[in-house]
Structure 1
Amino acid sequence: MLFVRPARLSDLDAIAHMARTAQPVLHSLPHDRAALEARIALSEDSFRADVDFPGEEFYLFVLEDTATGRLVGTSSIVAAAGYAEPFYAFRNDALIHASRELHVNRKIHALTMSHELTGKSRLAGFYIEPTLRGDAAAHLMSRARMMYVAMNRRRFTPEVFSLLLGVTDETGASPFWEAVGRKFFGRDFKDIELASGGRSRTFIAEVMPAYPLYVPLLPEPAQRVLGEPDPSALLAYEIHLEEGFEPDRYVDIFDAGPVLTAQVDRTASVAGNETRTVREAAGATNLEGAAYLVASQRAGEFRCVLATLPDSKKGADIIAPLDASARAALGVQDGEPVRCAPLYRATPQTEDAYMGDAQ
């Protein structure tokens, strides 16, 4: 069984391997072993800390296979993006250029460097081992973060965002970077991607253009990829939409990848979250119901799994029948409470539909 838990320093070797082999690169996970060790230590401190409002906390999660003990995925939450330095992105503005004399009225898009996302909580560092089949593991690894947010609201801001990978070619080159970033940095996309440290470095403001970039003046290949996720990021994009995230007017300053934002209260993991009581189940093969994210926080240790649970409206006692492997992964016993949220949102035509989650 796969389950999500906080990363530990004992996971350093496995996480370092994922950081090195992830393609495209994860700029939120440093390749330097000492820096990565410091990041994991910060995560451990963040999970233990008594937090009243979001600050410099960083939460790193791993996906573990109970059958082998191997780590097969990672993801993270930055409590307040750009806490020490501004978080930079391009804001896509629509400017009106008009002339009564010439009877011209044109709406022109322009990209302006912005740090308006600074201070908001950010989902980051999503990686799943390519050998895993199906999308269940990806859903679990990505959306477990929002289950943690739902259970620890004071640690995060009311709005969260996620920056997804923009379009790159088979060599890892970005059309947008070649048209814009390379003109100012004179270096390869991968080099600056690693050096950026999560889009919060001073050199970004020092080198990137301070004035708006008019989109029609960019080469056609750069225009086409604005706000488009890379094919390798399409599953992550769809998972975010399922959670309730929506494309915003921001794009990444390096590869023009999409920035997705969501109000925490309107996300699926919060709007559909409920407390259930664990009941022993001999096995999952005969259970009827739907796929749920099931999370526990026993003794402060967050855990999350996927399980098939019955409809909560079928009885007064809202239960979570879990087999032995699920209970062991969550660290819970019969009669203990767990937090549950449907993996997939109900359609608007059903009475179970989440309110206000239309895309």
Structure 2
Amino acid sequence: MLFVRPARLADLDELERMARAAQPVLHSLPRERRALEPRVALSEDSFRAEVEFPGEEFYLFVLEESETKRLLGTSSIVASAGYAEPFHAFRNDALIHASRELKVNRKIHALTMSHELTGKSRLTGFYIDPSLRDEDNAAAAHLLSRARMIYIAANPRRFSTEVFSLMLGVTDDAGASPFWDAVGRKFFGRDFEQVEADSGGRSRTFIAEVMPSYPLYVPLLPADAQRVLGEPNEHTLLAYDIHLEEGFEPDRYVDIFDAGPVLTIAVDKSASASSGELRAVRERGPEDGAGAPYLVAAGGAHAFRCVIARLSGTRADGAALTAAARAALGVSDGDTVRCVPLHQASGELP
């Protein structure tokens, strides 16, 4: 059975394997072990800490197969984006250029460097094994991605009231970005992948030092750069759809490097908060019907676990879980679990 749990230092070998396989580079999962180890240690400290408000905490989750103990994915939460340095994004503004004399009134879109996402909690570091990326295994991707929002909804003091996620923008087969070639390269003089690796998740001082401080008028950009503005990369469409199912919406921001979309949500409007319910665990019996798929989480702030299971009935009927699900969650009969409907039409349950 697949389940999500916090990463541990004991996972370093598997985490290093996934970090080296991830394309593009995951800022939250450095490829070099000497940089990866302190990130995992920070995550362990963050899960153990008693937190009253979000700060420099970083939460790293892994997707594990219970029988083989193999790790098949990672995802993470940055409690406060840009905690040490401002988080940079382009804000897509609509400016009015008008002349009464010429009877001209035009709305022109312009991109302005913004720090307004600084301090908000951020979902990042999503990587799932290639064997689980097709439609038949979409449930695994839902589990790995949406478990983060269940954790946030269950532990609101640890996070901001708004959460955002930065989606990868459009690139070609060679990894080149039309938007970067039209904008960023003019200022940095470097390839997209090189600056992407150096950016530290959009919170480095050199970004503000080098990128333009004045608005960029969108109509003045090349057509191919305009066309990809706010468009997700085809390889992230599954992750994009999962965010939409949780309730995220595209906002007025785009990534400063590849113009990928920024999705935002108020935590209390998310499916994990608004549709979640607490149920008492009981043993699943032959009288329990097939039921609908749910994300089921337990363990509180320090020992979080999440699985997908089929539940029937209402909250009063409890959560009838198989022995495998109870073992993965570390719960017994009578314990309380948080349940969120998956609302997925396709994909076999793990």
Q: TM-score, normalised by structure 2?
A: 0.95
Please name the residue that 1:64 is paired with.
64
Contact 2:293–2:344 (8 Å) recurs in 1: no
Deviation, structure 1 residue 29:
2.1
Please name the residue that 1:39 is paired with.
39
Please name the residue that 1:216 is paired with.
219
Residue by residue, what CA displacement relative to the aligned partner does 1:305-359 show, whole Å, maximum 9, x if unpaired?
A: 000001316xxx331011111011000111111111111289xxxxxxxxxxxxx
Please name the residue that 1:303 is paired with.
305
Please name the residue that 1:330 is paired with.
329
Please name the residue that 2:320 is paired with.
321
Task: Give the AA of the match of 2:147.
Answer: A
Please name the residue that 2:188 is paired with.
185
SS state at 1:135 partner: helix
Contact 2:187–2:211 (8 Å) recurs in 1: yes
Contact 2:297–2:304 (8 Å) recurs in 1: yes
Deviation, structure 1 residue 247:
0.3
Distance 2:80 2:159 in 1: 7
CA distance 1:208–1:61, shift in 2 (3 Å): same
Deviation, structure 1 residue 28:
2.9
Distance 1:298 1:102 in 2: 64
Deviation, structure 1 residue 26:
1.7
Distance 2:335 2:29 in 1: 35
**Bigger Cα displacement from structure 2, 73-82 vs 9-18:** 9-18
Distance 2:73 2:45 in 1: 21
Residue by residue, what CA displacement relative to the aligned partner does 1:175-214 show, whole Å, maximum 9, x if unpaired?
A: 1011111111111111111111110000000110111110
Please name the residue that 1:251 is paired with.
254
Deviation, structure 1 residue 20:
1.4
CA distance 1:311–1:283, shift in 2 (3 Å): closer
Number of aligned positions between the proteins? 342
Distance 2:335 2:78 in 1: 30
Deviation, structure 1 residue 224:
0.4
Please name the residue that 1:352 is paired with.
none
The RMSD of aligned alpha carbons is: 1.6
Contact 1:30–1:197 (8 Å) recurs in 2: no
Contact 2:291–2:311 (8 Å) recurs in 1: yes
| The one of 276, 281, 284 aligned to 2:279 | 276
Gaps of 5+ in 2: 346-350
Please name the residue that 1:238 is paired with.
241
Please name the residue that 2:348 is paired with.
none
SS state at 1:60 partner: strand
Contact 1:283–1:323 (8 Å) recurs in 2: no
Task: Give the AA of the match of 1:162.
Answer: S
Contact 1:110–1:213 (8 Å) recurs in 2: yes
Please name the residue that 2:109 is paired with.
109
Deviation, structure 1 residue 287:
3.3
**Bigger Cα displacement from structure 2, 150-159 vs 296-305:** 296-305
Distance 1:56 1:299 in 2: 16
Contact 1:30–1:36 (8 Å) recurs in 2: yes
Distance 1:224 1:311 in 2: 47
Runs of 4+ aligned structure 1 residues displaced above 4 Å come to none
Task: Give the AA of the match of 1:325.
Answer: A
Deviation, structure 1 residue 282:
5.0
Residue by residue, what CA displacement relative to the aligned partner does 1:100-121 show, whole Å, maximum 9, x if unpaired?
A: 1111111100000001000000
- Pairing 1:99–2:95 present: no
Distance 1:345 1:95 in 2: 40
SS state at 2:259 partner: coil
Residue by residue, what CA displacement relative to the aligned partner does 1:4-60 show, whole Å, maximum 9, x if unpaired?
A: 000001111111121111122223322222111111100000000000000000000
SS state at 1:222 partner: helix
CA distance 1:299–1:104, shift in 2 (3 Å): closer
Distance 1:160 1:109 in 2: 25
Gaps of 5+ in 1: 347-359
Please name the residue that 1:28 is paired with.
28
Distance 1:344 1:47 in 2: 29
Distance 2:344 2:234 in 1: 24
Q: Percent identity?
A: 73
Distance 1:167 1:10 in 2: 36
Task: Give the AA of the match of 1:265.
Answer: D
Contact 2:56–2:80 (8 Å) recurs in 1: yes
Distance 1:42 1:298 in 2: 19
Contact 2:28–2:39 (8 Å) recurs in 1: no
Distance 1:19 1:243 in 2: 26
Distance 2:247 2:17 in 1: 31
Q: TM-score, normalised by structure 1?
A: 0.92
Contact 2:81–2:118 (8 Å) recurs in 1: yes
Contact 1:298–1:331 (8 Å) recurs in 2: no
